[in-house]
């Protein structure tokens, strides 16, 4: 419900009224001017979280290590306040990190499939990162199969969402 306060120019206040009141917080006669002033001076300010211990750096070498980092970060953010409350900004950060976790899981799945594919066709990586011991035509065919299976999996997932 709209605040019932009428301004000097004759227009009504555009704020919503408080529960069990006809007025918004600012125009509520039951709230002292001192309480209103304190509330306005604190507007937009939240408690800052200070971390007690220093975090050790993590090596992010593959999808599994990224997934571990994201899960750890989400859990630390969730436990940041002693009361266990989560404000909307913190919840948004968790949502973004959870999305990144899903992306990391896709990368992990692709890494596993690539290793399996390499194993099936006998591809070996030498110390300098070059491929050896493979039949080029066979490799091309296996890559096409792999890409087709990824496309089918993506189409299936998209179909499940709709």
What's CA 87's distance to the chain center, in Å? 14
Instruction: Give, in order, the Cα–Cα distances in Å from 151 to each of 6, 53, 158.
Output: 62, 45, 11
Judgement on whether residues 84 and 131 belong to the same structural domain of the protein = yes
Question: Number of folded domains in the chain?
Answer: 2
Q: Which residues of 32-61 are buried (b: 16+ CB within 10 A; e: fewer)?
A: eeeeeeeeeeeeeeeeeeeeeeeeeeeeee
Decide if 39 contacts 25 (C-beta within 8 A). yes
Residue 94 belongs to some domain of the structure: yes
Q: What is the pLDDT of residue 72?
A: 81
**Is 49 a domain residue?**
no
Q: How far apart are CA 92 and CA 38, in angstroms?
A: 28
The pLDDT of residue 129: 57
Same domain? For 19 and 89 the reply is no
The whole domain housing 12 covers 1-42
Residue 2 is assigned to a structural domain of this protein: yes
Residue 50 located in a structural domain? no
Gyration radius from the chain CA atoms = 28
H and E: helices and strands count for the chain: 4, 2
pLDDT tens over the chain, length 162 residues: 899 999 999 999 988 888 888 999 889 999 898 888 887 776 655 555 555 567 777 787 777 787 788 788 777 777 666 666 666 777 788 788 888 888 888 888 888 888 888 777 665 555 555 655 556 676 677 777 777 777 676 666 666 655
- Whether residues 4 and 68 share a domain: the answer is no
């Amino acid at each position: 419900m709209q605040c019932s306060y009428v301004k000097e120019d004759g227009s009504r206040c555009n704020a919503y009224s408080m529960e069990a009141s006809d007025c918004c917080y600012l125009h509520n006669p039951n709230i002292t001017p001192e309480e209103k002033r304190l509330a306005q001076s604190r507007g937009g300010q939240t408690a800052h979280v200070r971390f007690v211990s220093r975090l050790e750096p993590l090596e992010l070498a593959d999808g599994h290590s990224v997934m571990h980092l994201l899960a750890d970060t989400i859990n630390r953010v969730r436990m940041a306040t002693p009361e266990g409350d989560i404000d909307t900004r913190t919840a948004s950060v968790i949502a973004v990190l959870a999305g990144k976790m899903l992306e990391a899981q896709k990368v992990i799945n692709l890494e596993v499939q690539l290793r399996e594919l390499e194993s099936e066709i006998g591809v070996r990586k030498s110390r300098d990162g070059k491929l050896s011991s493979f039949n080029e035509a066979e490799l091309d065919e296996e890559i096409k199969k792999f890409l087709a299976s990824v496309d089918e999996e993506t189409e299936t997932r998209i179909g499940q969402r709709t």
